[in-house]
Amino acid sequence: MDLYFIKVRARSKGTAEEIVGYFFGKTNGAPDFDFLVVPLRYSEVVDNITLDEDLREFKEKLDKAKQKVKEIPGVYDVTIAFIAYLNNMMNRRGKIPLGIEFSTAIKENDTEVLRVIISDLLEEWSPKMEVFVKAQGLLLEEYSAYTFLSMQEDFSDENVAKVYTRPDVADLPEVFPVIDPINGTSIVQFDVGDKIPVVILNPGKYEKQIREKFPNFDKDKLSIEATILSKELVRVKGGNLYLVKVELDEGLIAKGLVSPALKILSDEAYFEKRRRQRVVEQKEPTEKYPKTIKVEIPSTTGSELLISLMTTLLITGALLIIIYLFAK
């Protein structure tokens, strides 16, 4: 688990409010957060937020609900006050210790502990709130997949289509960088020759070659440490993107489309951890399943051949007798 994501929904009868939002952070790190507070008379604005959504969908629904609330005069002021209150409470408690508590509870799958921690944070806003939480731990690779899905609109741009149909690009495997939403670095800061972690999205016609080098690339959820070969600016309606070519392994080139707004993982400690994991994985299959099995066939002596021939004749004779009897 590299990241934690906690979805929260609370209702206060004392203040007649509905509270919806989330905490999000790196494992054992200080959480980021975002919340929306609406009076119960406007609760239909958040009725479609169920806590069953994945990270991307939950954030999208929350953003849309916020936009609706901002259109109602004076209502969003309560949210501003609540966020200031919550930030103050988290500072008093200590954001890093709070992140450690969140991470530990999620690792132990203890939703009740999470509910108690969050209820304590909300206690001074409104006592005895009804609090509901759902949480998940994420790998950085999983978070990167959610990020890629949120970029699909950019991929439909005319300029992207032109670039992706170029002969030097069209058939290359598709990759996407591993995103570190807290401490990552923009692709702008990466240079040709730098290492960059990527996940393979679509191997295309190179699946055989990729599987030879990375047998479980589509199952392990592990990143590949690639080398940047080129960066090319692609202008789209929403701004700029970078077309990046990377080398996955010697002679194995892939492409990726990256927004400069994304924070790409650049933590050397993470690279080293993944290298150790890959070494362990490469050893395990070798120990369990040898690449070749040598089968020894003993040489056949003359007497063994004679016995074998006689046995065959006896069986054949018996079969002929049975056929003759049943044919009558």
Q: What is the mean pLDDT of residues 88-107?
A: 96
Q: For 19-70, how does the pLDDT look when each residue is reduced to its tens digit (9 = 90+)?
A: 999 999 999 999 999 999 999 999 999 999 999 998 889 999 999 999 999 9
| Highest mean pLDDT pick, 103-112, 139-148, 292-301, 302-311 | 103-112
Q: What pLDDT is attached to residue 264?
A: 92
Nearest residue to 265 (alpha-carbon basis) of 177, 172, 161:
177
Q: State the CB neighbour count (10 A cutoff) for residue 27.
A: 17
CA gap 59, 323 in Å, rounded:
78
Nearest residue to 54 (alpha-carbon basis) of 128, 120, 138, 118:
138
Which residues make Cβ contacts (< 8 Å) with residue 313, sequence separation at least 6?
A: none
Q: For 98-121, how does the pLDDT look when each residue is reduced to its tens digit (9 = 90+)?
A: 999 999 999 999 999 999 999 999
Q: Are strands 3-12 and 130-138 parallel, antiparallel or unpaired?
A: antiparallel
CA 224 to chain centre: 14
Per-residue pLDDT for 95 more than 60?
yes
Q: For 175-213, how does the pLDDT look when each residue is reduced to its tens digit (9 = 90+)?
A: 999 999 888 899 999 999 999 999 888 888 988 888 888
